[in-house]
Structure 1
Amino acid sequence: MFNGTTIGWLKLEKNEVGNKSNLQLTSEIKTNILFPIKVFSKETSTYENGKLIYSSQFRKTNGKTKIDKEIKLNENQYEIIENNKKTKLSCPVIDTNLLSLFFQEPKYIKEVYCDNQQRFIKPIKMEDGSYKMKFPNGYCNSYYYKEGICIKVKVEHKFYVAEIIIKH
Structure 2
Amino acid sequence: MKAQTLSLLVGLFSLKTIANAQQKKLEYTIKRNGEVVGNIHFTHGIAGSRTVLTMASEVNTRFVFNFKAKTKEETIFDKGIMTWSSIFRKLNGNVKVDKKTRANGNIYTVYKGSKTETLANYPIRYNMLSFYVIEPVNTTQVYSDNLQQQIDIQKIADHHYKIKFPDGNYNEYFYTNGVCSKIEIHHRLYSALIELTS
Instruction: Give me the TM-score of the superposition, normalised by structure 2.
Output: 0.82
Find 1:7's aligned residue among 16, 33, 37: 37
Alpha-carbon distance, 1:128 to partner: 7.2
Structure 1: 5+ residue stretches without partners: none
- For the pair 1:83 / 2:113, whether they are aligned, the reply is yes
Aligned to 1:142: 172
Q: Kindly provide the amino acid, as one letter, of the partner of residue 186 in structure 2.
A: E
Distance in 1 (alpha carbons) for counterparts of 2:141 and 2:39: 28
Identity between Structure 1 and Structure 2 (%)? 35
TM alignment of 1:92-107, pairs within 5 A: 92-107=122-137
1:70 alignment partner, one of 100, 103, 111: 100
Moved more, 64-73 or 109-118: 109-118
RMSD: 1.1
Instruction: Determine the C-alpha separation between the residues in 1 that align with 2:79 and 2:157.
Output: 33
* Counterpart among 62, 87, 96 of residue 32 in structure 1: 62
Once residues 66 and 100 of structure 1 are traced to their aligned partners in structure 2, the CA distance between those partners, rounded to angstroms, is 23
Q: Given the alignment of the two structures, is residue 120 of structure 1 paired with residue 145 of structure 2, yes or no? A: no
After TM superposition, the runs of 4+ consecutive aligned structure 1 residues lying more than 3 A away are: none
> SS state of the match for residue 32, structure 2?
coil
Aligned length: 168
1:128–1:105 CA distance, 2 compared to 1 (3 A): closer
1:92 offset after TM fit, Å? 2.8
Q: Does 2:190 correspond to 1:165?
A: no
**TM-score, L = length of structure 1:** 0.96
Q: Distance between the aligned counterparts of 2:96 and 2:82, measured in 1? A: 23
Q: Which runs of 5+ in 2 are unaligned?
A: 1-30
Check whether the contact 2:140–2:154 (CA below 8 A) recurs between aligned residues. no
State whether structure 2 residue 23 is matched by structure 1 residue 23. Answer: no
Residues 48-97 of structure 1 show CA distances to partners (whole Å, capped at 9, x for unaligned) of 00000000000000111000010000122100011211111121310000
**RCO higher in 1 or 2 (8 Å CA, sep ≥ 6)?**
2
Q: Using the TM superposition, give the Cα deviation of residue 127 of structure 1 relative to its aligned residue in structure 2, in angstroms.
A: 3.8
The answer for the alignment partner of 1:61 in structure 2 is: 91
